[in-house]
């Protein structure tokens, strides 16, 4: 949960003095101190932090301070890999959404300086709502005597999806399946697409958020299973989703999950300038959503190895371990997705391409509709930083208000959406296992009611999809006509 303290910006002055500016939601206090009175503190630029993004020099900036994580690498309870992915950037919002004050006390041992100026938006001080909702949710787990990540029942779902994958794979490619019914391989391709989307909600989501058990090895196992079976990179997903979308939900031009670049593929917010082709978005959004998986399969490894960035998010140089994992999981994927069907099951290349296409289209549409619709609609908030890069509301409030929940208490919808119908709860507590969302949602809703935070909720999934289509159609009109 969010652990914001007073914002501190330290700006080095040419005369050897440090100018320290403290900002809170209501006050701005200025004080000046000399370098000699703060011997260990030096001013570090964001460019220096960005260059320190490797195992040999892993720095990170959080709330105006810069930390050297070298001595934390082997001790981090969340594992070395996660720290190395986060290094070389201002990771304030991501760090605060996953850690507590207790963790920050440990982190303070590694401070090496003050950040001159961040290049990422900063959120306002923590509100009473943020403090209370966290305390009450953690108290719930304390009363139950369980860790928020503890949910052994998830293994049943992971295994079930693995079995569906195996069955649909055989249905798509084995000779026996087409002998049973000539339509069976095509139906199996649809099931395979659904299953891959579901593995995105379960294996990928839980593994990358570290939301299943406290053991980073288990997170890694989930990630590698997903990569082997689907051919997609979980590393890119951690950058896009974990370091981009979650900390900066719905911030136009910053949240990489929302199609809001200029010129972007779609226009979903008034701050995006108008281009004539947006007039056609009410026709092309569906085909656009349907190609997501294919384009990711084709291009995302280039983001890691060639561009070293995914949209606006810099990607760190991959470690040897990461490269070895990438090579292994991709080999497994190519072996079972292409070599086995072509050379063992002896199906034609055209048939292989058609079956994969059906599977990928189903997968893309299922996944994209759910994650786009729950953030892109008229009901949610669209936080906007001011000229100083400050977002004046607190992070926790905006996480709730920038999400649209749907179909609470419908267990089947919860299963089919990987609990993302509890989107606000997921955003507030990304490290809590999804198994617990239905139980903690009433606590969150009650805290929202008490503190006047808007909780957006639709009765059914169709209500949410309807709200999404309405927004797409609205922004397909030139601004002057609306």
Q: Which segments within 106-164 are labelled E, that is strand?
A: 111-115, 122-123
DSSP, residue by residue, 438-452: HHHHHHHHHHHHHHT
Q: What is the DSSP letter of 41?
A: -
Output the CA–CA distances (angstroms, integers) from residue 341 to 92, 167, 228, 344, 351, in the order listed.
46, 14, 16, 6, 10
Q: How far is the CB of 60 from ligand HEM (least distance, A)?
A: 5
Q: How far is the CB of 256 from ligand HEM (least distance, A)?
A: 17
Among 20, 41, 49, 82, binds ligand HEM (CB under 6 A): 82
Q: Does 86 interact with ligand HEM (rule: CB under 6 A)?
A: yes
Question: Cβ neighbours of residue 136 under 8 Å, at least 6 residues apart?
Answer: 443, 447
And the tokens for 158?
């992971």
Decide whether 72 or 288 has the Cβ nearer to ligand HEM.
72
Q: How far is the CB of 219 from ligand HEM (least distance, A)?
A: 7
Q: Does 210 interact with ligand HEM (rule: CB under 6 A)?
A: yes
Site string for ligand HEM, 29-68 (x = CB under 6 A): -------------------------------x--------
Q: Does 370 interact with ligand HEM (rule: CB under 6 A)?
A: no
And the tokens for 79?
């594992």
Q: Does 113 interact with ligand HEM (rule: CB under 6 A)?
A: no
DSSP, residue by residue, 274-325: P-GGGGGHHHHHHHHHHTHHHHHHHHHHHIIIII-EETTEE-PPPPHHHHHH
**Conformational region of residue 13, where left means phi above 0, alpha means psi within -120 to 50, and beta covers everything else:** beta
Decide whether 78 or 317 has the Cβ nearer to ligand HEM.
78
CA–CA separation, 433 and 205 (whole Å): 10
Decide whether 171 or 418 has the Cβ nearer to ligand HEM.
418
Q: Does 91 interact with ligand HEM (rule: CB under 6 A)?
A: yes
CA–CA separation, 168 and 190 (whole Å): 9
Q: How far is the CB of 147 from ligand HEM (least distance, A)?
A: 8
Q: Does 98 interact with ligand HEM (rule: CB under 6 A)?
A: yes
Interface segment toward ligand HEM; rule CB under 6 A; list 34-42, 101-109, 264-272, 314-322 = 101-109
CB closest to ligand HEM, residue no: 78
Among 29, 77, 283, 389, binds ligand HEM (CB under 6 A): 77
CA–CA separation, 69 and 76 (whole Å): 9
Decide whether 67 or 165 has the Cβ nearer to ligand HEM.
67
CA–CA separation, 430 and 407 (whole Å): 20
Interface segment toward ligand HEM; rule CB under 6 A; list 13-21, 72-80, 287-295, 306-314 = 72-80
Among 66, 93, 95, 114, binds ligand HEM (CB under 6 A): 95
Q: Does 441 interact with ligand HEM (rule: CB under 6 A)?
A: no
And the tokens for 336?
């079972």
Q: Does 417 interact with ligand HEM (rule: CB under 6 A)?
A: no
Among 107, 190, 221, 469, binds ligand HEM (CB under 6 A): 107
CB 409 within 8 A of CB 438: yes
Q: What residues are paired with 313 via a beta bridge?
A: 310
Q: Does 76 interact with ligand HEM (rule: CB under 6 A)?
A: yes
User: By rule CB under 6 A, what count of residues binds ligand HEM?
Assistant: 19
- Summarize as ranges the residues that interact with ligand HEM (CB under 6 A): 60, 69, 72, 75-78, 82-83, 86, 91, 95, 98-99, 103, 106-107, 210, 214
């Amino acid at each position: 949960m969010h652990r914001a303290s007073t914002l501190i910006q330290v700006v080095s002055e040419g005369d050897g003095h440090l100018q320290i500016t403290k900002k809170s939601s209501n006050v701005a206090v200025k004080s000046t101190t000399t370098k000699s009175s703060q011997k260990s503190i030096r001013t570090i630029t964001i460019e220096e932090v960005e260059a320190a993004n490797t195992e040999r020099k892993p720095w990170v900036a959080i709330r105006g301070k810069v930390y050297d994580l070298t001595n934390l690498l082997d001790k981090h309870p969340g594992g070395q890999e996660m720290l190395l992915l986060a290094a070389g950037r201002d990771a304030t919002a991501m760090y605060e959404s996953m850690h507590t004050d207790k963790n920050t006390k440990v982190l303070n041992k590694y401070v090496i300086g003050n950040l001159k100026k961040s290049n990422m938006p900063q959120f306002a001080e923590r509100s009473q709502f943020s403090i209370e909702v966290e305390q009450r949710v953690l108290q719930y787990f304390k009363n139950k005597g369980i860790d928020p990540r503890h949910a052994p029942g998830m293994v049943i779902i992971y295994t079930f999806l693995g079995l569906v994958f195996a069955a649909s794979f055989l249905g798509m490619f084995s000779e026996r399946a087409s002998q049973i019914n000539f339509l069976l391989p095509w139906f199996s391709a649809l099931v395979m697409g659904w299953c891959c989307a579901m593995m995105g909600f379960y294996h990928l989501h839980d593994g990358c958020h570290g939301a299943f058990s406290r053991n980073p090895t288990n997170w890694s196992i989930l990630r590698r299973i997903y990569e082997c079976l689907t051919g997609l990179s979980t590393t890119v997903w951690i950058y896009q989703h974990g370091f981009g979308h979650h900390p900066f939900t719905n911030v136009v031009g910053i949240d990489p999950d929302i199609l809001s670049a200029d010129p972007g593929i779609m226009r979903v917010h008034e701050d995006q300038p108008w281009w004539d082709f947006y007039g056609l978005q009410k026709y092309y959004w569906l085909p656009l959503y349907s190609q997501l998986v294919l384009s990711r399969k084709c291009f995302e490894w280039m983001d890691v190895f060639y561009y070293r960035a995914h949209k606006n998010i810099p990607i760190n140089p991959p470690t040897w371990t990461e490269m070895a994992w990438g090579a292994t999981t991709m080999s497994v994927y190519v072996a079972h997705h292409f070599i086995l069907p072509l050379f063992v099951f002896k199906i034609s290349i055209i048939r292989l391409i058609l079956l994969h296409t059906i599977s990928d289209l189903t997968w893309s549409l299922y996944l994209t509709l759910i994650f786009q619709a729950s953030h892109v609609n008229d009901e949610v908030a669209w936080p906007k930083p001011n000229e100083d890069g400050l977002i004046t509301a607190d992070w926790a409030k905006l996480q709730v208000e920038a999400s649209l929940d749907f179909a609470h208490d419908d267990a089947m919808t919860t299963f089919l959406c990987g609990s993302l119908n509890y989107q606000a709860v997921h955003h507030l507590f990304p490290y809590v296992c999804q198994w617990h969302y239905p139980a903690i949602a009433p606590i969150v809703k009650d805290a929202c009611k008490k503190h006047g935070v808007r909780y957006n909720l639709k009765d059914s999934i169709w209500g949410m999809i309807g709200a999404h289509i309405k927004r797409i159609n609205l922004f397909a009109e030139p601004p002057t006509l609306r």
